[in-house]
Every structure is written in C-alpha cells, then in structure tokens.
Amino acid sequence: MEDERYFGFLVSDVARLLRTEFDRRVRDFGLTRSQWLALTRIYRQPGCTQSELAETMEMEKGSAGRLIDRLEDNGFVVRESDPADRRVKRIHLTPEAEAIERTMRRIARQTILEALSDLDETERDKAVELLITVKARLQEMLQNKNQAASAVDRQMVTQ
C-alpha cells in the first residue's frame, strides 16, 4: 500500500505507536497521557507558566490549568509566585514527581531501544540525524511563515 511509505503517515504512525507502548508501560503510575506529557514538559522547562505549558502541549490555557490543578491535587507539581511578578505562577515538579520522571525516562529509553532494536548503531544514528534535519527545516518554514505574516500585519497597520 502506498500510504505505508508516505513519510507523513509513517512519522505519525511511529509516534502514535511509541506513545501507545509507553502508555502501557507507565500505566502503573496512574497517570494519563496528558499528565505524563505535562510532567515531562515541566521537567524539561522547570518554572514554566501555565501559558507556556499550554503552548508546548498545544492545548488551550483553560485545559492546561485544569491539568495542572489535577497534578497539584495529586502532589506532582507546585505553583510558586514569580519573584518579578506575583501574578505569574511558576510550575515546578515535586520531589515525588521528579522521581517518577526519572523512572519514566528510563522506561522511555528502554522503549526506544526496543523499537529500534532491528537497526544497527549506524542506522539508528542516521535515522536520528535525518529526523533532526527534517525538524529543523519545518521549524524554519514555520518561522518564515510567522515572519511573513507579521510583515503583512505591520503593512496593514501602516496603510
């Protein structure tokens, strides 16, 4: 089937299958996919705001707020006032969540190693390099589009 060789479908299918397998492996933590994704994002960006978390998770601010509320109720995150602006709350993992995150990272590494086990080290490295190249190109395309849109917006304002 031609779709099986279509790059977009392949990338999407591989990502979905990895998430599904990871979900199965971390089920015992009692975390939903949204919750473990949020913990991972907060781990990578400690002290992020609700708005920043919503943006990186591609969700609405209200939904992110409810997600943070659940994580806070379960003792996984704390909200702390920003020293520069007390209205802003910074989100941090609790020690319990940091321990879970470390375990989840080990599980994620093992899942990836098993998924890539039919490839030798050179093939794995090449696959990663290719995806990094594609990612960088897509980011460049989006940045250029955003810059072009901003230029059009500025031009409309001056007219």
pLDDT, tens digit, for every residue of 58-114? 999 999 999 999 999 999 999 999 999 988 999 999 999 999 999 999 999 999 999
The lowest-confidence range among 16-30, 50-64, 116-130, 137-151 is 137-151
Is the pLDDT score of 154 beyond 90? no
How confident is residue 39, by pLDDT bands cut at 50, 70 and 90?
A: very high
pLDDT reported for residue 153: 56
SS3 at position 93:
strand
* Per-residue pLDDT tens digits for 12-29: 999 999 999 999 998 888
Quote the pTM value. 0.74
2 burial via Cβ count (<10 Å: 0-12, 13-18, 19+): exposed
Query: Which residues, at least 6 apart from 67, have a Cβ–Cβ distance to it below 8 Å?
Result: 34, 35, 38, 59
Give the number of other Cβ atoms within 10 Å of residue 61's Cβ: 13
